Amino acid sequence: MGKFFEKFPDPLARLIVVAVAMIALGVFAYLVLLPKPVKDIEIQRADAVKREKAKPVKYAGFHACAECHDKLYETKKKGYHRDLSCETCHGPAKAHTEDPDKVKPTIPTARAFCPQCHAYNPSRPRGFPQINPVAHNPLKPCTSCHNPHDPKPPTTPKECSACHGEIARMKAVSHHVQLECTVCHEAPQQHKVSPRSVKPSKPQTREFCGKCHAKDARNAAKGGKGGKGGKESLAANAPKIDMAEHGEKYVCWQCHYPHSPEVEQ
Amino acid sequence: MNGRRSFLRGFLSVLLSGGTVGGILKILPSKADAREAPPKGKKWYGFGVSIDKCIGCARCMDACKNENNVPREPFFVRTWVERYITRKNGQTTVKAIAPGDEATSESVSDKTILRSFFVPKLCNQCASPACVQVCPVGATFQTEDGVVLVNEKTCIGCRYCIQACPYGARYLHPKTHTADKCTFCYHRISQGQLPACVEVCPTQTRIFGDLNAAASPMSRFLRMNKIHTLKPGLNTEPKVFYANLDGEVR
C-alpha cells in the first residue's frame, strides 16, 4: 500500500486519501444513514396513497340519511326531487351522522338558495323548471308555497310556462303569441307527473300548419274544429303559402321554428 | 495471447449487443403495456359528464371545496363549470361560473345567442398524463386504479405540472405551496362512496364508476351515449368522458 502512494507526489496522495474517504462516507450515509422511505419512490407513493385514503369524509352519502329520516326519505322518493341527495341542499352531514345531537346540518331558508338551480338562465336545459326570482312572488320565502321535499307547485300549473318558460317567453314576442300551447300540442295529464317519460304530442304533418297558412285556409278553418270567431280571423290574417309549391319535400318545422316563426319580407 | 484477446473481444461484443437488444426488448413491451386497458378484476376509475343535463347550479364546486378543503377564493378550484355562449355570428364566449352568480345581462332572452350550455370540468385523470411525465421529483403519480395523485410531501411547488396540464386542472395550494388537483375524492371512492360532486349533483350530470365493471351507471353511460373526450389529439387518453359535447368545447 505504501508503495502505491510512493508513485504520487505527496499532496496528490493526500488528496486521493481524502477523496476515497469522502466517497466511502457518502456511500455509508446513503446505504446506512438515509432511511429507506427517503430513497425509495415506491414507498413514498404508497405513503401518499395511504395519507390520501385517510383524509376525512365530510359527505355521508344518500344511504346514511334514510336510516333515521325514513319518513322524509319516503316523501322525497316520490317527488320531483327524488334524484337529489339530501346533502345537495343540507350540506355535508358526516359529522351529523356521528353525533346527531350536537352537529346539525344547515336548513337553507334564504330566498337566494333555490334560485341557484331554479332561476331562469338560457343556458339551462329546456324544460327544467325555472322562474324569474325578481318577478316570482317577491320577498316570499320559497318554502311558504313549496315543500322542498316534495316540490309540487301549490297548484298544478295550467300554464305550460311554469316549466317551459324559455319557450313561453319566446312565443310571447313572436307572431304566434295568441296561440295557446294546446292548439298544437296535446299534453297528457301524466306529462305533468313524469315529464320526461310521457311527452306531449307534436304536429306530424304539413297539413297541420296548412290549416292556417295554406292559400285556402280561411275556409278550412271554418270547416275545421274550434270554429271560433277569433281563431278564424287569426287564420285569415296568417301569411299564406301555396302548399303545393312551397317546400313540398319538407315538413314545416324543418325550416321554420313554430315558437318564434321568422318573418320574411 | 491472440486467442485470449479475440475471445475477450468476442465475449464483450456479444455481451454489449445482447444488452442492447435485451434493453430494447425490455423497453418496448413495457411501453405497450402502459397503453393497454388495465387487467381485468382491477379497478380502473372513470367519470362521465352529460352536458345536456347540467343546469350550472355550482353545487359540485361547493361540495368539492367542502370535502377537500379547497380555499374558498373563486380561483382555487378542483372542479369548475364553464358557461358557453355561441352567438349567431359564430363567436363563442366561455366563462367559468361562480356559485351564487347573478344572472348576467346576456341571460335575458338575447336574440343574438345561437346556443348556450354549461360544461362541468375537472381533472381528466389521463391514462398517459402529461403532469406525471414532467414532474422533476416524481411527486405526482398514477395509482394502480388509474387516479393521478400528488404527494404533497415531496412536491416542491415548481408549478411545472400546472403548466403542462392541457386542461388547466391544477392549481398551487396557497397554504401548502404544493400542486393540488381533483383526486376523484380518493378517500371517498376507496371506501366505496361516490365523489362529493357526483353525490350532490341534482340532475345526475356527473357519473362515476369503475370502467371495468360490467354493469354500472358508468358502463351504461358509456354504452348509451356518443362519447367525447377533451383534446383527444394530445393522446393524453382522458378518463373523463363527455356525452353530447359541443364542438366548441376544448
Give which of B125, B124, B117, B55 is closest to B246, Cα–Cα.
B117
pLDDT band at A263 (very low <50, low <70, confident <90, very high): low
Cell of A139: 320577498
* Residue B238: pLDDT over 90: yes
Q: How confident is the model at residue A35 (pLDDT cuts 50, 70, 90)?
A: confident
Best-predicted range by mean pLDDT (A80-84, A261-265, B65-69, B90-94): B65-69
Among A124, A170, A173, beta carbon nearest to B55: A124
The pLDDT-based confidence of A54 (bands split at 50, 70, 90) is very high
Give the domain ranges of chain B.
1-36, 40-250
Average pLDDT over residues B198-222: 91
CA distances from B54 to B145, B148, B201 (A): 27, 25, 9
The answer on pLDDT for A222 being more than 90 is no
Q: How confident is the model over B128-144, as a mean pLDDT? A: 94
Closest by Cβ to B59, choosing from A44, A45, A88: A88
**Mean predicted confidence (pLDDT) in A226-253:** 74
Using an 8 Å Cβ cutoff, are B238 and B229 in contact? yes
pLDDT digits (tens, 9 = 90+) for A187-203: 888 887 777 778 889 88
pLDDT for A264 equals 56
Question: What are the beta bridge partners of residue B84?
Answer: B94, B117
Mean pLDDT of A121-126: 84
- Give the bridge partners for B120, in sequence order: B81
Nearest CA in chain B to A121: B107
Residues of A with CB under 8 A from a CB of B: 41, 44-45, 47-49, 51-59, 61-62, 81, 83-85, 87-88, 91-92, 112, 116-117, 119-125, 128, 166, 169-170, 173
Q: What percent of chain B has pLDDT over 70?
A: 84
Residues 6+ apart with CB under 8 A from B249: B51, B82, B84, B119, B230, B242
Cα–Cα nearest to B138, from B160, B105, B123: B160
Query: Residue A2 has which C-alpha cell?
Result: 505504501
Question: What is the residue whose three cell numbers read 321535499?
Answer: A149
Spatial CA neighbour of B91 closest among B81, B78, B106, B102: B106
| Percent of chain A with pLDDT strictly greater than 70 | 90
Of the candidates B227, B230, B232, B234, the residue with the CA atom closest to the CA atom of residue B250: B230
Residue A71 exposure: Cα atoms within 13 Å on the Cβ side: 0
Q: Is A137 left (phi over 0), alpha (psi -120 to 50) or beta?
A: left
Is B186's Cβ below 8 Å from some Cβ in A? yes
Q: What is the pLDDT of residues B9-45, one digit of tens each?
A: 877 777 676 666 655 555 554 444 444 556 677 899 9
Q: What confidence score (pLDDT) does residue A137 get?
A: 83
Q: Which residues of B touch A57 (CB under 8 A)?
A: 67, 187-188, 191, 193
State residue B225's pLDDT score: 92
B143 touches chain A (CB under 8 A): yes
CA distance B57 to A108: 15
Matching residue, cell 388495465 = B38
Of B107, B27, B75, nearest to B173 by C-alpha is B75
> Quick check: A82 pLDDT over 90?
no
Q: Return the C-alpha cell found at B205.
A: 350530470
Closest Cα to residue A183, out of A150, A135, A217, A225?
A: A225
In what helix (H) or strand (E) does residue B13 lie, and over which residues does it extend? helix B2-35
Of B56, B154, B203, the CB nearest to A123: B56
pLDDT of res. A182:
86
Picking from B116, B186, B196, the nearest residue to A53 by CB comes out as: B186
The model's pTM: 0.74
- DSSP letters along B194-249, please? PPHHHHH-TT--EEEEETT-SSSHHHHHHHHS-EE-SSGGG----SEEEES--TT-
Partner-chain residue, chosen from B55, B66, B186, that has the shortest CB–CB distance to A52: B186
- What HEC string does A181-236 produce? HHHHCCCCHHHHCCCCCCCCCCCCCHHHHHHHHECCHHHHHHHCCCCCHHHHHHHH
What per-residue confidence (pLDDT) applies to B100? 62
Residues 6 or more apart whose Cβ sits within 8 Å of residue B145: B42, B43, B44, B45
Topology classification of domain B40-250: Alpha-Beta Plaits (3.30.70)
Task: Tell whether B105 is within 8 A of chain A (Cβ).
Answer: no
pLDDT, average across residues B188-195: 93
- CA B171 to CA B163: how far, in whole Å? 10
CB B81 within 8 A of CB B97: yes
Residue B171, strand partner residues: B180
What does the block give as the cell for A86?
339530501
Please give, rounded to a whole number of angstroms, the shortest distance from the CA of A242 to a CA of chain B. Answer: 30
pLDDT of residue A228: 46
Alpha helices in B36-159 (DSSP H): 59-68, 130-134
| Cβ–Cβ < 8 Å for A59, B196 | yes
Reported as a single tens digit per residue, the pLDDT across B223-235 is 999 999 999 999 9
Q: What is the mean pLDDT of chain A?
A: 83
Give yes or no for B56 touching A (CB within 8 A).
Answer: yes
Q: Can you list the positions of beta strands (E) in chain B?
A: 45-50, 79-87, 92-96, 113-122, 140-142, 148-150, 171-172, 179-180, 206-210, 227-228, 240-243
> What pLDDT sits at residue B8?
79
| Nearest C-alpha neighbor of B134 from the set B171, B90, B164 | B164
Cβ atoms B171, B181 nearer than 8 A = yes
| A130 and A160 Cβ atoms separated by less than 8 Å | no
Q: Over 80: is that where the pLDDT of A142 sits? A: yes
Contact A59 B118 (CB under 8 A): no
Indicate if the pLDDT at residue B1 is higher than 60. Answer: no
> What pLDDT does residue A194 have?
72
pLDDT given at position B107: 54
pLDDT range class, residue A230, cuts 50, 70, 90: low
- State how far the Cα of B86 lies from the Cα of B105, in Å rounded to an integer: 15
3-state SS, residue B172: strand
Alpha-carbon A123 to chain mean position: 10
